[in-house]
Amino acid sequence: MKNVSVMIKPASSLCNLQCKYCFYSDVSGRREIPSYGIMQQDTMEKMLHVLESGLDPGDHITFGFQGGEPAMAGLEFYRKFTGITAGWDERLMVEYAFQTNGVLLDDEWCGFLKNNRFLVGISFDVLRGCHDAVRTDRSGKKTYQQVYDAIKRMERYEVEYNVLCTLTNEIAGKPGRVWENMLRMDLKFVQFTPCLDELDHPGESSYALTPDRFASFYHELFQYWLKDYKEGKYRSVKFFDDVVNYLAFGKPTCCGMGGHCYPQLVIEADGSAYPCDFYCLDKYCLGNISDTSVQQMMTSAAMKEFLQRPHKQPELCGTCGFSRFCGGGCKRMQREVCCSGTDSRCGYRLFLQANIKELEQIAEAERRWLCKNHA
């Protein structure tokens, strides 16, 4: 039985917002063709045919839709998509994930997402002032209230969702307020994504996270989280979950843990495929799904070049007792989370040094619970 995950960008880099820190705008702007527009139905059908042909009964496939803004492909695109997969062998397990800014999620959208069991990741920066300063529409209009309303609408329709908060340097300086808002809104699943510098211009973005801010944010947030955890009030913060799971079971649960890249499949709106969302660049194009098999893509020269890129570990890693957690970290996030190679401080290490005892105790409790309930 195989577990297959495919990221699809049905609206390419098109977006109805103009977020000041958007990493995909930076990436796509470096291609000869920044946007491939909306995926055509024949491209969708060819893509699904190729993917289905590589699956066997019992296999599990997850389709993750991202952008840009994937809702700009229109609801009819997803109706056709799910209509095709509904006709696949019933022994295949198909799941959907959908990352959105939420602005287009009206009642019709929410009904569809619920009925087709989509897991929605909604981009929401939790603090109104921080969100509205950065996440505006094309006319400069603030969007916090629209996204908040979309979250409440999803809750009414019982759509499964989690919040994706871009952890900027400013937000990272306000962990107490972030936690207060998480409690006030009763946000049960939150993933903080480090705000990245531009691909080739480190140090130029005022929004990009720094290792010190990474450590101080998560250290303070962990104290609030831990207090509630001990009182039996669990709230998912993905970074804490990832560290606990690694301590408990020794297996990474997020890309980047381990310090090396894993081959992935990201399919743009024209059918072109890439090995990583952070590197959808012309030089790493693996081919086109309409005329290239998945096997050919995964063994292509572009994939090999991507996986074999040099990854110089910071000097700190050589003396770090926690190197097994990250191996120097995700290559794209290293400057924001770990260190650049010349820095004397690593955000990951600072957090673990301060909190490893409590994290190990939680991991041991998770192991015992699993053994007891799956004996």
Catalytic residues: 277
Q: Tokens 């095709």, residue?
A: 84
Instruction: Decide: helix, strand or coil at residue 267.
Output: strand
Strand-strand pairing, 272-274 and 287-288: antiparallel
Amino acid letter, 150? A
Per DSSP (E only), the strands in the chain are: 3-8, 60-65, 93-100, 118-123, 161-167, 189-194, 236-237, 266-267, 272-274, 287-288
Burial 328-364 (b: 16+ CB within 10 A, else e): bbbbbbbbbbbbeeebeebbbbbbbebbbeebeebbe
Task: Find residue 63's DSSP bridge partners.
Answer: 6, 96
Find all residues with CB under 8 Å of 50, minimum gap 6, and list them. Answer: 289, 290, 293, 294
Instruction: Decide: helix, strand or coil at residue 21.
Output: coil
d(CA 22, CA 135): 9
Instruction: Give the residue among 67, 53, 62 at the shortest CA–CA distance from 5.
Output: 62
Strand-strand pairing, 272-274 and 266-267: antiparallel
The two most distant CA atoms of the chain are separated, in Å, by 58
Cβ atoms within 10 A of the Cβ of 253, count?
13
- Read off φ and ψ for residue 196, nearest 5 degrees: -100, 150
* Length of the chain (residues): 375
d(CA 264, CA 281): 14
- Read off φ and ψ for residue 370, nearest 5 degrees: -65, -45
